[in-house]
Amino acid sequence: MRLKLLTPIEVLVDETAAKIDAEGPEGQFCLLPRHRDWVAALVPGIVGFVTPDGDETFVAVDRGVLVKCGDEVLISVRRAVRDGDLARLREVVETRFRRYDDQEKVARGAIARLEAGVIRRFLELQEPPR
């Protein structure tokens, strides 16, 4: 299979893979060359893949999407880090990616409150004078 892992700013991986392991909201899954076509959401975690030579490589990924179509697997994520040290990658996922998710939840809540306030003010402007 041809694996391409894309972030908004770079192609981090463009290699041949004999096996790909990833994690979605429902848990871990594995893709092999003869598996059916597949689309999956990815959660922050570790994507591992094995090259035809048997070398195993790991990439820490943020949320994203994986699409397997024929012999090609495309993974598109917001952020990714490739490193040879699996322990360091797990730390990146736990500290960086999951912390960003918490910060984004807080920011989305603040935006929702602002939007609600704007809508309330518009409704107040439309009320007929008493």
Give the pLDDT score at 129: 66
What range defines the domain where residue 70 resides?
A: 2-126
Distance CA(79)–CA(45), nearest Å, equals 11
- Per-residue pLDDT 10s for the chain (130 aa) are 999 999 999 999 999 999 999 999 999 999 999 999 989 999 988 999 999 999 999 999 988 999 999 999 999 998 888 887 777 887 877 777 766 666 677 777 888 888 888 888 888 887 776 6
Q: Given phi > 0 = left and psi -120 to 50 = alpha, else beta, which region is 54?
A: left
- The closest alpha carbon to 36, from 67, 77, 5, belongs to 67
- The closest alpha carbon to 39, from 22, 59, 16, belongs to 22
Is the pTM higher than 0.85? The answer reads no
Number of domains in the chain: 1
Question: What would the DSSP string read from start to end of 81-95?
Answer: EE-S-HHHHHHHIII
Give the pLDDT score at 112: 85
What CATH number is given to the structural domain containing 91? 2.60.15.10
Give the pLDDT score at 74: 97
